[in-house]
Structures are given as structure tokens and as C-alpha cells.
Structure 1
């Protein structure tokens, strides 16, 4: 079993994130096009991380990086984004290194993030948007009690520039606290 820790954006180096993105470019090209395009070079990654730090300082977005305790390399990424404080809702987006899929890492990371969303940020709803083909992410959502609330048609521009439908999963705080 792999052990890992969560680091904030303040505790990672741009070269580490660049390496994670580079290793997983094909794996995430459809689902993380903004991150991928923002990290095509180390120089762009430095700017990407600087923007992430500024966004986190404004409390607009929260970034978490998953680090393998044995190798000390980054193996995943999770962010709490699209925070709407007036509606009390936010979105989770995440991925794990292709070589670490299926080990429960994202399941545990999402559980930790949900606690932050509901208990620290005071959100009433957390949502996850997935590609219709991303059954692994859909399973993560369902495992945590999210309900598929609908399909948003032509809602997401993928890495190739095409518009795709997304599956929208929501979890209310009242359902979260029942678990």
C-alpha cells in the first residue's frame, strides 16, 4: 500500500508539478486542458504556480498536491475551485498519476477535500463534473454519496478544442453529514 501526504501550493516546486503534468499529458489532455496548456514548459509552469498561489491567497481556489512518501514525487493533484460563497457551493477537480490509479489515493483525497469544503469553507454543496467516458471519476463521486443531477450538453471545451457533454454530480452537506 502506498503512503502519501498532501501538500499545499506553497510547498511544491514548479519543476515537480511540471514533471507530474509531463508524465501524464496524454492521460489528462481531455479533462485538464487549462492545466496542461499552462504547464507545457517549465517556464509556463512557474507562471501557472504563481497564479495558483495568488488565487489561493485570495481564497478563490485551493490547490492540493499528493506526494508519495517513499519517493517524494508528486503523484496527484486536487483543487477546490469555482467557489461561490453566496450559493455555498464549489467544484472538485482531481487526477492521480496514471501509474498510481486504482490504489484508492483519489478516494481518500476526495474524502479529505470534502471535509475541508463542508467543515472549513462552510459550503452547502460540492459538485464534480466528469466526462461521460470517465467512469473512474464517476465511481469516485458515487462512492462519496454524490448524486448524478444531470448531463450538461456541450458544456466543456476539451484539450482538442471540441465541446463535450459533462455529467454533473452533486453532494449536499445534509447528505454528507448523514454518512
Structure 2
């Protein structure tokens, strides 16, 4: 891993970069291509990026939130094609408790290649070392085996089941699993 000026990290095939306005079109492309994957656990991100205009509004908002340290959105970018291949959030920040949640999604064609694990491991270190957070959380559904593996591989440990934690569109509320990592 090498560090680049605008990147959090650069790996052989991809980089992790803070949200920037130039990514609006690429995020729209990513979301529309992966709409089916995103609709259950990222319905708001999906709805906010269905058209280039909506993506521009979304990105402008996320850039402001990043600058104000309210939420940190990162794009995972294929280094050669420069396309957005995934998103990772550091969200639900509680600066008093020094706690935040990480959420992530990857494009279907990049799944199972270790990219998300590398990204979450890197962003967990960033959250602890650069942001000074003490407790990081990942909330996943038990059937999302890939996401559970990513949490565990990045050093997060299962804490408890959160009852009725997430309600996907047109579904009953789901119990979710809470994983945590401590500084």
C-alpha cells in the first residue's frame, strides 16, 4: 500500500479516496449497475443516486458532511479504469463516545477479491489513528456471509443481535448482528 495525495490508500488495483464532487457521475453508474445488490441494505444511497442530477446533489451533501466531520464517505476506485467499484462510510459518529459505524458495498464484479476487506481494514486504522475514534461498529445481517467475514477478518468481534435494527424497503424489520473493534 502506498499513500497518494488525495487517496487514503492506494493498492495494486484500487484506491480509497474521500468523496469529491468529480465522482457524481461515476457513483451514479456504480449505483445503477448494482441497484439490485444495494436495494436491501443501502436503499437510501440507491434512491439518492438513480440519476446524474440526484448523484450530484448526493455528492455535494456528502462532501459538506465530510468537511464538517459529520460523516465520511469514501469511494473505492479501480485504478486503471478510474470507475467507482465500491463505497465505504464512516457514519453514525458520536464524537463524545469516540464511536462510529462502518458500512460498505462493492460492485458485483469485484466481490470475493479481497478488496472490501483491505478497504475496511485500512479505514478502520484511519478511523482510530487519524480520527481518534475508540470504538468502531459494523452492523450486518447474519445471512450476509461475505460481510460477516469482512468484519471478522478486520478484527471486529461479534457483540450481540440488534432486534428489528434495519427495515429494508417493502420488508419486515430485520434483526442485525453487531460487531465491534476497539482501539
Unmatched 5+ stretches in structure 2: 1-10
For residues 23-55 of structure 1, the C-alpha deviation after alignment (integer angstroms, 9 at most, x for no partner) is 100011111011011112221111111110111
Q: How many Å separate the matches in 1 of 2:38 and 2:170? A: 12
Greater relative contact order (Cα 8 A, min sep 6): structure 1 or 2?
A: 1
CA contact (8 A) 2:24 2:52 kept: yes
Higher helix share: 1
CA RMSD of aligned residues (A): 1.5
Q: Which of 89, 92, 116 does residue 126 from structure 2 map onto?
A: 116
CA contact (8 A) 1:89 1:123 kept: yes
Runs of 4+ in 1 over 2 A off after TM superposition: 159-162
- Residue 106 in structure 1 maps to residue 116 in structure 2: yes
Q: How many Å separate the matches in 2 of 1:12 and 1:136? A: 30
Q: 1:11 to 1:49 in 2, by over 3 A?
A: closer
Give the deviation of 1:2 after TM superposition: 6.2
Give the deviation of 1:148 after TM superposition: 0.8
Partner of 2:86: 76
What TM-score, normalized to structure 2?
0.90
- Residue 28 in structure 1 maps to residue 38 in structure 2: yes
Partner of 1:177: none
For residues 4-31 of structure 1, the C-alpha deviation after alignment (integer angstroms, 9 at most, x for no partner) is 1122212632110000000100011111
Counterpart secondary structure, 2:20: helix
Q: How many Å separate the matches in 2 of 1:95 and 1:121? A: 22
Q: Which of 42, 58, 76 does residue 52 from structure 2 map onto?
A: 42
Partner of 1:19: 29
Q: How many Å separate the matches in 2 of 1:11 and 1:110? A: 23
CA contact (8 A) 1:131 1:167 kept: yes
What TM-score, normalized to structure 1?
0.92
- Residue 147 in structure 1 maps to residue 153 in structure 2: no
Counterpart secondary structure, 1:12: helix
- Residue 95 in structure 1 maps to residue 105 in structure 2: yes
Counterpart secondary structure, 1:86: coil
Unmatched 5+ stretches in structure 1: 174-179
